[in-house]
Each structure stands twice: as C-alpha cells, then as structure tokens.
Amino acid sequence: MSSEQAGDAPALTEDIRPGTASDPDVGADAEGTVTVDGRAVTVGAGATVLDAIEAAATEASVPALCSYGDEDLIGPRSECRTCVVETDAHGLVPACSYPAEDGLTVRTDAERASEARDVNLDLVLSNHNLRCTTCGKNGRCELQDAAIENDVEEPRYGVLDDRDAYEPLDDSSPFIQIDRNKCILCNRCVEACNDVQVEGVLRLEGSGEDTRIGFQNDAETMEDSTCVSCGHCVTVCPTGSLVEKGLEDVATIQLPGFTQKNSIGKTLESSGQERRLMTPMKRGEGESEDTSTESMTDGGDDRLDENSDDDWLDENSNSGWPDGGGSDA
Amino acid sequence: MATGTPGDPACRIASRSDAGELSTAIREATDAAVRSVGTTGASALEPLLLVSRDGTTAFFAECTAAGATDVVSRLDDGGLPEGEADAVVDHDEQPGGLPVPPLSPLDLGTRSVLSPCGWVRPTVPEDYRSAGGFATLSTDASDLREAARAVPGRGWGDASADEPVGETWDGVAAAGGDPAVVVNAHGSPGDALVLESAPFLALEGALAAARAVGAGDVVVYLVATADLARERVETAVEELPDEGRSGIDVRVHTGPDEHRAAEPTMALEAIEGNHRLEARLRPPAPDTEGLHGRPTLIHTPRTLAQVVRAAGGASPTRLVTVRGDGGDARGDGGAVRGDEEATIELPEGASLSVAGDAVDAGGSVKAACVGGQFGGLTPDLDIAASADDLAAAGLGTDGVVDLLGEDRCVVAYVGEKARYGKAENCGRCVPCREGSTQLTALLREVYDGSFRRGDVEELLRVMRSTSVCAFGSHMTRPVATALEHFEAEFAAHADGRCPAGACPELPREVAA
C-alpha cells in the first residue's frame, strides 16, 4: 500500500499504526438527566459522566488526569482512572469514559471512589520522575496540580527516584525534547500526532512495565523519527514529558549546577548530521532509504507472529520468584 | 457408522499427539477399521486404545505399539481380548458417544460436551452426525436464543463470562445491524480440547449463534501455537455440510501466544490486525460495538457447545481441566507443571472436590488454585461449581484447577503470579500496569520483613474495581485468597521463615 504513495503525498491514515486499541464511542446515546451529589443536571447526547459532573458545577471535582477536554479527537483514554466515581446502577465507573445515562445517580465522595482515585493518583506518581525543581513544566503541570489539589504529601508508593532506572532524555531534536521518565502514558500526544495532525509519527509501544511512547518508523530518537515538528504533542502533554526546546529549563528553580539534563544523567544527543528536508516521509523517492515503509505495509498474521515470541516463557523459567530478573530482592 | 457392521471390530486410538506410529502398527496387525480420534481429556490414559465389537468396548490405557499389536492380532479369532483390558463396557450397538468405562478420570463427573471427544473422528462430519451432531442446524433462531438463556458464558475469553448468553443474543438480534460471531478458543485448555476432539461441536454452536442473531460471518480465533487445534478446526470448516453453513462465512485467525491476547477486546484487536494488543474501553461492550465496529458475539467453544447441548434439552455443565503439581516448588516449576493433566466435566453446581481425584497429585495437596492463571486459592475443593459460589469464594470460573503440593510456598506462588501480571499486562491502565508493579514490590517487601496486609488489600480493591479489563481485576485473586487462607505463611516470611522450606533465601521453619 504505502509503497505506491507518491513521494510528496501525506501519509495515508490506513498506514498509521499508533498501537492503540480501537475504542468504541463511549458517550451517552441520548440526552439525559444525571444526579451528581444530589444535584440534577441534564446533558446532551454523547455526554460522559465527567461532562455531567462539570455541568453540575458542585464543589465536587475529580482529577481526571489523562482526560483532555479541548479536542474531540483526543481521548478519552481513560487509563489513569483518577476520575472514578460511584454510581447507583453500575458501582464504580471511570467518569471520563462512562456514558451519562438518563437517570444515573453519581456520588463523587463515596468512600470507595475516593480511595480508588487516591490510590490511582499515587500509582501514577509511583512511576513519575518527581524532580519538579528541574522541570520545565514546574508550575504548569497537570500532574503537579492534581497532586496539590488532592493534598498528596507523601505518595504511598513513592516516586520514580532511581537514577539507574531512568530512560535517557531524548534531546536529539532541535524542536522537541522528550523525557519519558515523566510520561504518564495518557496517549494525548499519540492522538494529536495521528488523529488530529495525521502525521503518523508517534505510537504507543511495548507492554506491561515496558510500555512507552515510541516512533512508528522504529527510530530510537526524535531526530531519526519522521517528526515534522508541528508541536501539537507538546501542547497536549500534561507533564514535562514533551517540552519545546528552549523552554526545557524555563520553569526550573534556579539552583547553580542543577538542570533538567543532569537531573536525568543520560541524554540522547543529536547526531549532528545535516538534514535536507525535515522529514524522511516527505522526501522524494530515491533520495533516502525509506525505513518506514516496510514496517507499515502488509497486514495479517506476520506482525502478530513477530509479537508472539516465547521470550517471556524463558524469562519465567530462568528467573524464580522473588529474586528474578536480577532485581534487588 | 460408528462401530461398523455387527461382528466387525472397530479400533480407535484416542490421543492428543499424533499417534501415527501406533496407528500404523495396528493397521498392519489387523484388517479391522482403525480410527484416530481426539483426546478424551484423560491424557494420563493415552494413547488409549478402544476396541469395539457387538456392543462391547474394551479399553487399553497407555498403549504401546507392541501391546496394541498383540491385542488386535487376536481380533481375527472373534470376540474381544477382554482379559488384558483395563476396562470393558457394554453399550448400545451405535453409542452416541464415548461409552464411559470404570476408569478414572473418565468416569468422574459426567460426559455431555465431552461425549464425542475420544470417540468420533474429529474432522469426519458423518462421525459427528452419527453421534447426534448437527441437530441444531434446523432449529429456529428464536428457539436457539431461548436455549442460550440457560447457558452462562464459559471462560475469561468469553465476553459474556458467567452471564446468560441468551440475553446478549436477544439484544444483538433485536438491534439489527451487521453482527459478527467470534469463537474465542485462545484462553483455556478446555477450549483447545473441544477444537481438537470435536471441532464440529464448536462450529455447530457458532453457526447457531450466527443464525440466532443474523450474523453473516464467524471468526474462529485461537493461539498461534495451537497447531493441532488449528489444523483440526480448519479441516472441519472445509468439511462443514453445506446445509449447515446457511451462507455463513467461517474463517480462522490466530493471535500471539500471550495470556492477555485471549481477553475478548484484545482478541478483536488481534483479528483486526493491530500489531500491539491492548484492551478496549467498555461500555459499550463488543455486542454493541465490536469487530470493526459491528455488534459482535464473543464466545468460547465451551460456551457454544453448551448452547448446542441446551438446545437438545441438556442441563449446563462445566469443563474443568485439573493439573497436578508436577514441578518443584520454585524456579523452573512454572515451566514443567502440568505434566499430569485431565479435563473432566461436572454438572453445574456439583462439588469441585471430584477434581482432586482427576489426577495423581503426587503427594498430599495443600491447596488448589481455581480459575487458571489468575485463579484464587482454596485449601478445600468442596465448593459448588457455579459462578456465584466460585465468586463468593474468591475463585475464578475459567475451568482450570491447579493442585498445589505440601512443598509449595504460597507466598512464592502468588508472588510469581503478581510478577507475571506485571510483565504480561497490556500496559494500558494505571491500576493494572502500575498496580501490578507495586503489588509485586509489596510482596517482595514481605521477604524483607515488612508485611503490610492493609496496604496490599487496599491496592487489590482498587485494581479489582478500576482496571479496564478482567486481566487487572482477576490478577488480584491469587493474592487476595492467599491472604484469606494462608496469612500465617506471609507472617512467617516476614519473620524470616518459609514454612514450606521452598524459598532458598529463607531458612526452613523449625518444627515446634
């Protein structure tokens, strides 16, 4: 398919492989009245419980960290589950992705719902590099805001504070810096890149604890990706994971010798090679080897077979509990 | 015909693996009909030679080529060599399925779905038909939906797990649209068994589902490594009688050999060709928006087989695959466990205790893990096999029971399951992805002397109630039930002792 594309043609959407599931439409089928903490509110077709909570405008609020309200094509990802509320009909539900069914009664302050939101927010923080003082998004970070609003003083599972476990800072692009140690996998950047800009650069890759934001052309660095530097990903990122170059230290607390870069300790730098055109995807045929083509063509089982290796079995059999995998136990 | 003309003997070899050598030896030694049939579910007895003549069948367990040659060479004398048989059963001239011998575990529980398994040639439609098969091909769609109301979905790969499938079918039939049917055989050994030994039973059920809701196509989905099941079901699809297809397209698709790939929405992702599998949000469930956005029924072969049986007036049953504790207590135990395995069938609501008799546990049994990979632990199997009773005991309904020997360390066992969950989850939602990481860490802390039960239970509550899919909620079962029944073992580990003596980093508990 893609091999037939003209050299200058934009990427076809069917070649875009963001690695995410095809979620159904999660909004309500029709207009309905929902009672939020005792206040009845009517919301339209397509509304979610979170829309109803916002419309009710009570004192109630839920962090809804991964939710993004400014662009219909982005979200709900509903991955962070910090918007959980209790309903009479369905028990605990994620407000951001649950239909605002007519007649539904919602309690935001139910004990089990509060517990779930608190635990899930702490779980997000457990895998987040909380070096706010050297972060360019300090003071304009949605995770920081949520933690402050929820009076998080000491997250129950700690934070990602092991420098050996950090992924290198990707500082290879002249326009956008990536710090995956601050990524909460909200997927907004992937959707901005694929569903709004239709560029097909970013993807979600890996699984389990190895899940990360990567590149659809299998590049290791932003510089080697097919990024056109539109910057949409940066504008939607809730944390300091994606920041514009030049602004990466703008909000850091000035302490001599402490920077965003050396707080991580490992950096992927630009190769320094001159680039004729901004993106390989838009170079003319024959000007470069198109590494993106092969991985994005064909369909069917081949890719799945690649994915279906038995490495995990080997891993299981070679490493016993609890000291498996060369861990610290 | 199942047993040939009166007087003529018929031989069957029931085996999970290719019994080609044995079959060749038997064919050379006798002129009698020799049929290779699928596994009976009692793998410890197999290869199992069944020799039938004039309404009597003799069973020869763990048959070797030499032994089989000896048996069948005497068939020319007339009669059956009953003396050497492990069991002999008298039955109808044309039995509708395997005549049940007094031979454990074949005589445990009941055999309804299992009836054709080990008796009919899996891919020969005439065999299946003579065993009563294809009866629902002429059943009205409304009668099929009625029958399905009494059938709860079976297995975690079933989108209607533990709920009556008929309600879903009614909804899909009423909504119209362009429905599809997915047969999800990815998840459990019982489903692989049905496809290997009686693929027409699963396909008949799938066609019943398709006709019941007006679906034009069926996709059979199974794990890429299930070579035998795939081969059998692909052949069976080709051999399906034309009148049974009703113009319904049936195809086979495989997914990666990963536990999560059986989850119903990840099965849809795999069938749609996504290179990376993660769970989809719901509601709406796949029966509203499923395969390529179409209303989609996703049922396991076990569920569909139950619908066929229910349409014939039978009561619901459960397939239960029981695995002995074949491995040592840690290390590579996970890889070699299950060398003793049997699949039996229990009437709905019957006590699970009979499962403990299905395999040689190789010693006394300390506990059982009920519900497969993320099943719950129980020290006592005397629990009714029904969705409500199993759920009340914190156990799973996946149809797999693992027996744990006395030398098993429960803390290590559930810790390994948490670690598996941490490594194998799809990576989508925080309660599952990060929760499994923290759960593993909390359990490791027990070895360092810190056993924080309240913190563990808080985490389990949130993982169970807020994960996107069943992978995350089911993952909580092993630890939750271990805390309930074996709290003393956690406390002992925190004190630096492993009561089972299975954790090398801790000294064995000294008997008081």
pLDDT digits (tens, 9 = 90+) for A144-169: 999 999 999 999 999 998 888 999 99
Residue B121 lies in a domain: no
Burial B62-78, CB ≥16 within 10 A → b, else e: ebebebbbebbebbeee
Instruction: For residue B78, give both structure tokens.
Output: 């007339």
Is the pLDDT reported for residue A29 higher than 50? Answer: yes
Residue B504 lies in a domain: no
CA distances from B21 to B29, B65, B85 (A): 13, 7, 21
User: Residue B88, CB half-sphere, CA atoms under 13 Å: how many?
Assistant: 11
What pLDDT was estimated at residue A317? Answer: 37
Contact A20 B289 (CB under 8 A): no
Instruction: For residue B300, give both structure tokens.
Output: 């396991």
What pLDDT was estimated at residue B364? Answer: 85
State mean pLDDT over B67-82.
88
Is the pLDDT reported for residue A309 higher than 60? Answer: no
Contact A329 B444 (CB under 8 A): yes
State mean pLDDT over B277-301.
97
What pLDDT was estimated at residue A282? Answer: 52
- Which residues 387-406 on chain B approach chain A with CB closer than 8 angstroms? none
Which candidate from B260, B331, B428 shows the least CB-CB separation from A320?
Answer: B331
Distance (Å) from the alpha carbon of A218 to chain B's nearest alpha carbon: 13
State mean pLDDT over A267-274.
84
Contact B433 A209 (CB under 8 A): yes
Residue B3 lies in a domain: no
Residue A157 forms contact with B (CB below 8 Å): yes
Is the pLDDT reported for residue B327 higher than 50? Answer: no
Confidence of residue A303 (pLDDT cuts 50, 70, 90): very low
Asked if residue B223 and residue B153 are part of one domain, the reply reads yes
For residue A289, with 0-12 CB atoms within 10 Å meaning exposed, 13-18 middle and 19 or more buried, which class applies?
exposed
User: Residue B187, CB half-sphere, CA atoms under 13 Å: how many?
Assistant: 32
- Which residues 296-325 on chain B approach chain A with CB closer than 8 angstroms? none
Asked if residue B325 and residue B305 are part of one domain, the reply reads no
Tens digits of residue pLDDT in B222-235: 999 999 999 999 99
Residue B494 falls in which region: left (phi positive, over 0), alpha (psi -120 to 50) or beta: alpha
Amino acid at site B179: P
- CA pair distance B225, B137, nearest whole angstrom: 31
**Chain centroid to CA A209:** 14
Amino acid at site A289: E
Is the pLDDT reported for residue B354 higher than 50? Answer: yes
**CATH code of the domain made up of A32-112:** 3.10.20.740
Distance (Å) from the alpha carbon of A202 to chain B's nearest alpha carbon: 14
Burial B250-264, CB ≥16 within 10 A → b, else e: bebbbbbbbbbbbbb
Q: In percent, how much of chain B has pLDDT > 70? A: 95
What pLDDT was estimated at residue B339? Answer: 61
Residue B136 lies in a domain: no
Please provide residue B14's backbone torsions phi and psi, each rounded to the nearest 5 degrees: -95, 125
Asked if residue B283 and residue B157 are part of one domain, the reply reads yes
- Neighbouring C-beta atoms of residue B82, cutoff 10 Å: 11
Is the pLDDT reported for residue A307 higher than 90? Answer: no
- Neighbouring C-beta atoms of residue B54, cutoff 10 Å: 14
- Which residues 55-84 on chain A approach chain B with CB closer than 8 angstroms? 76, 78-82, 84
State mean pLDDT over A173-182.
96
- Which residues 266-285 on chain A approach chain B with CB closer than 8 angstroms? none
Instruction: For residue B294, give both structure tokens.
Output: 């179409």
Asked if residue B92 and residue B163 are part of one domain, the reply reads no
Contact B278 A313 (CB under 8 A): no
Asked if residue B488 and residue B340 are part of one domain, the reply reads no
Fold annotation for A127-270: Alpha-Beta Plaits (3.30.70)
Residue B122 lies in a domain: no
Please tell me which residue, B457 or A59, carries the higher pLDDT value.
B457
Confidence of residue A324 (pLDDT cuts 50, 70, 90): very low
**Chain centroid to CA B192:** 7
The pLDDT mean for chain A works out to: 83
Is the pLDDT reported for residue A6 higher than 60? Answer: no
Residues on chain B touching A209 (C-beta within 8 angstroms): 422-423, 427, 433, 437
Supply the CATH number for residue B278's domain. 3.40.50.11540
Supply the CATH number for residue B61's domain. 3.40.30
Asked if residue B360 and residue B257 are part of one domain, the reply reads no
Kind of pairing, strands A84-87 and A105-107?
antiparallel
- CA pair distance B390, B39, nearest whole angstrom: 28
What pLDDT was estimated at residue B77? Answer: 80
Distance (Å) from the alpha carbon of B421 to chain A's nearest alpha carbon: 8
State mean pLDDT over B405-434.
96
The pLDDT mean for chain B works out to: 93
Residue A254 forms contact with B (CB below 8 Å): no
Asked if residue B197 and residue B75 are part of one domain, the reply reads no
Confidence of residue B332 (pLDDT cuts 50, 70, 90): very low
Q: How many domains does chain B have?
A: 4
Instruction: For residue B422, give both structure tokens.
Output: 């941490």
- CA pair distance A15, A295, nearest whole angstrom: 10
- CA pair distance B57, B7, nearest whole angstrom: 13
User: Which of the residue ranges A262-266, B242-246, B417-421 has the most confident prediction, judged by mean pLDDT?
Assistant: B417-421
Asked if residue B380 and residue B251 are part of one domain, the reply reads no
Distance (Å) from the alpha carbon of B423 to chain A's nearest alpha carbon: 5
Residue B454 forms contact with A (CB below 8 Å): no
Asked if residue B375 and residue B292 are part of one domain, the reply reads no
Instruction: For residue B244, give both structure tokens.
Output: 């049974």
Tens digits of residue pLDDT in B261-271: 999 999 999 99
Residue A99 forms contact with B (CB below 8 Å): yes
Is the pLDDT reported for residue B3 higher than 60? Answer: no
Asked if residue B274 and residue B145 are part of one domain, the reply reads yes
State mean pLDDT over B431-440.
98
Is the pLDDT reported for residue A299 higher than 50? Answer: no
What pLDDT was estimated at residue B334? Answer: 39
Residue B83 forms contact with A (CB below 8 Å): no
State mean pLDDT over B328-354.
70
Q: What is the ipTM, given to two decimal places?
A: 0.93
Residue B175 forms contact with A (CB below 8 Å): no
Asked if residue B277 and residue B218 are part of one domain, the reply reads yes
The domains of chain A are located at: 32-112, 127-270
Instruction: For residue B323, give both structure tokens.
Output: 């695995």
Is the pLDDT reported for residue B10 higher than 50? Answer: yes
Supply the CATH number for residue B354's domain. 3.10.20.600
- Rounded to two decimals, what is the model's pTM? 0.90
- Which residues 123-152 on chain A approach chain B with CB closer than 8 angstroms? 123-124, 126-127
Residue B505 lies in a domain: no
Least confident of A266-275, B139-148, B394-403: A266-275
**Contact pairs from chain A to chain B, CB under 8 Å:** 199
Among residues B50, B82, B107, which one ends one of the domains? B107
Domains A32-112 and A127-270 share a fold: no
Is the pLDDT reported for residue B129 higher than 80? Answer: yes
Give me the residues paired with residue A43 across strands: A32
Asked if residue B257 and residue B398 are part of one domain, the reply reads no
Is the pLDDT reported for residue A284 higher than 80? Answer: no
User: Residue B404, CB half-sphere, CA atoms under 13 Å: how many?
Assistant: 28
Kind of pairing, strands A176-178 and A84-87?
unpaired
What pLDDT was estimated at residue A321? Answer: 63
Which candidate from A21, A315, A322 shows the least CB-CB separation from B447?
Answer: A322
What pLDDT was estimated at residue A275? Answer: 60
Q: In percent, how much of chain B has pLDDT > 90? A: 85
State mean pLDDT over A237-246.
96
Q: Which domain holds residue B226?
A: 141-311
Residue B471 forms contact with A (CB below 8 Å): no
Contact A204 B278 (CB under 8 A): yes
- Torsion angle of alpha carbons B448, B454, B456, B462, nearest 10°? -160
Please tell me which residue, B413 or A278, carries the higher pLDDT value.
B413
- Which residues 21-60 on chain B approach chain A with CB closer than 8 angstroms? none
Residue A207 forms contact with B (CB below 8 Å): yes
Q: In percent, how much of chain A has pLDDT > 90? A: 66
What pLDDT was estimated at residue A111? Answer: 97
